[in-house]
Amino acid sequence: MNRDDFPILSRTVYNRPLVYLDNAATTQKPRCVVEAMVEEYYNVNANVHRGVHFLSQQATDLHEGARETVRKFINARKTSEILFTRGTTESINLLAYSFGEAFLKKGDEILVSQMEHHSNIVPWQMLAERKGLRIKVIPIIDDGQLDLGAYDRLLQESARLKLVCVTHVSNVLGTVNPVEELTAKAHEHGIPILIDGAQSTPHFKVDMQKIDCDFFAFSGHKIYGPTGVGVLYGKERWLEQMPPYQGGGEMINKVSFERTTYNELPYKFEAGTPDYVGTHALATALDYISGIGMERIQAHEQELTDYALQRLREIDNIQIYGHPEGKNGDAAISFNIRGIHHLDIGTLLDRLGIAVRTGHHCAEPLIHRLGIEGTVRASFALYNTKEEIDALAAGLKRVVSMF
Ligand code: C6P
């Protein structure tokens, strides 16, 4: 794949070539994304939707063009269903506030899974505290898959269930959840579903019409785009009924001290000056990966993941979480080596130029379910190579020999 497009990959750390395996935290940026931002600030910059002047119209065209690029990328029906946010976290907070205001009452229930990132737990807990709701949890089974039998039972027995919130891919285990099936089952009970797509969108094609979920959130920075920009997709029929999340410029129709009316979708949910440079850069990133082809990226990363699993299994006393035989796991592998703290492994790998993440990965309930304190996580992107996996395996063998 096109490593030369990513200038940072040719730098060294501690005089060693950088081996960047922390892609689930954030991906590196191709030159075209950074250049799109520089070019816009140098030559186009003006506030969007506000000016009659040339630059404002040009910036608005780029910003609204980005919305269309996102729509196409996730195959949503309409651009009015694409809300720009600061990232997955803000997307879920927006939904928790606004869906909560519109549809939830004391005693209602929300279902989340045991493998959620804190971003898909804490906003619901905060809402539950404000409104007197109950959070219920879909457990996982030992191999790191969702317990689908328990999901069925929870749907059956939860008479006051109003929303299901599940991640598409676990950021710790790489487990890919059967989101079409989860959605169909939720809908059989008349319940809408949010899918957290932070860890799926960078790795394989997602299709809103195929999944048929009601809401879907993802972050720009995990998909080769800039930080500070993300997306909440929502079906129009829900968004129409939900109140704004924040008040300010852009989200209004008319304002007076007596009464304010709100703008149409999607602007009702986009108060204030948007990160219009960020949205254009995100669209540039989506065009970049679409140009490579999501199928090609997925095949490459699957090969890397399979190779990494094979090489990691050679390490003495290693325990790999999730990734059961016969199930395609996504491009993140969490592991521990018995007798060595995960933080020590990460620190020693770092001195060899290898960047991995250690700790609870903002998924403490999952880590507790696994009965551990944390893991080492290696996660892959389109630009990683088998040679880098070899470097990881060699690094781990060296760490083991030191203890
Ligand atoms: N996970 C990781 O290293 P933000 O921070 O808003 O861009 O994304 C939050 C988020 C939500 N859901 C999932 C499944 C995620 O993995 C993340 C971010 C990073 O695993 C940083 S903690």
Do residues 89 and 186 both lie within one domain?
yes
What is the mean pLDDT of the segment spanning 306-315?
97
Determine, yes or no, domain membership for 240.
yes
Contact between 292 and 281 under an 8 Å Cβ cutoff? The reply is: no
- CA dist., res. 235 & res. 64, Å (int): 19
- CA dist., res. 318 & res. 109, Å (int): 39
Catalytic residue among 32, 165, 213, 362: 362
Q: Would residue 32 show up in a list of annotated catalytic residues for this protein?
A: no
Do residues 261 and 338 both lie within one domain?
no
Determine, yes or no, domain membership for 100.
yes
Percent helix, strand, coil in the chain (nearest 5)?
45, 20, 35
* The pLDDT of residue 325: 87
What percent of the chain stands above pLDDT 70? 100
Q: What is the pLDDT of residues 27-59, one digit of tens each?
A: 999 999 999 999 999 999 999 998 899 999 999
Do residues 309 and 270 both lie within one domain?
no
- CA dist., res. 103 & res. 16, Å (int): 54
Query: Binning pLDDT at 50, 70 and 90, where does residue 102 land?
Result: very high
What is the mean pLDDT of the segment spanning 177-195?
98
Q: What is the pLDDT of residues 127-148, one digit of tens each?
A: 999 999 999 999 999 999 999 9
* Ligand 1 center to 159 CA (angstroms): 31
- CA dist., res. 190 & res. 340, Å (int): 48
* The pLDDT of residue 245: 97
What is the mean pLDDT of the segment spanning 330-355?
97
Do residues 49 and 174 both lie within one domain?
yes
- CA dist., res. 353 & res. 185, Å (int): 46
* Ligand 1 center to 87 CA (angstroms): 9
Q: Which has the minimum average pLDDT: 18-22, 51-55, 62-66, 195-199?
A: 51-55
CATH of the domain at 139: 3.40.640.10
DSSP per residue, 124-171: HHHHHHHHT-EEEEE-B-TTS-B-HHHHHHHHHH-TTEEEEEEESB-T
Q: What is the pLDDT of residues 166-182, one digit of tens each?
A: 999 999 999 999 999 99
Determine, yes or no, domain membership for 350.
yes
Task: Name the residue of 177, 222, 333 whose CB sits within 8 Å of the most ligand 1 atoms, as the mutation to test its pocket.
Answer: 222
> By residue range, what is the domain housing residue 394?
293-401
* The pLDDT of residue 328: 77
Q: Is the pLDDT of residue 1 over 80?
A: no
What is the mean pLDDT of the segment spanning 108-130?
98
Residues within a 6 A CB radius of ligand 1: 24-25, 87-89, 117, 119-120, 167, 171, 196, 198-199, 219, 357, 361-362
* The pLDDT of residue 223: 98
Query: Binning pLDDT at 50, 70 and 90, where does residue 228 land?
Result: very high
* The pLDDT of residue 327: 82
Tokens of 355: 């960047």
Q: What is the pLDDT of residues 357-373, one digit of tens each?
A: 999 999 999 999 999 99
Determine, yes or no, domain membership for 18.
no
Q: How many domains does the chain have?
A: 2
Q: Is the pLDDT of residue 222 over 90?
A: yes
* The pLDDT of residue 209: 98
* The pLDDT of residue 50: 80
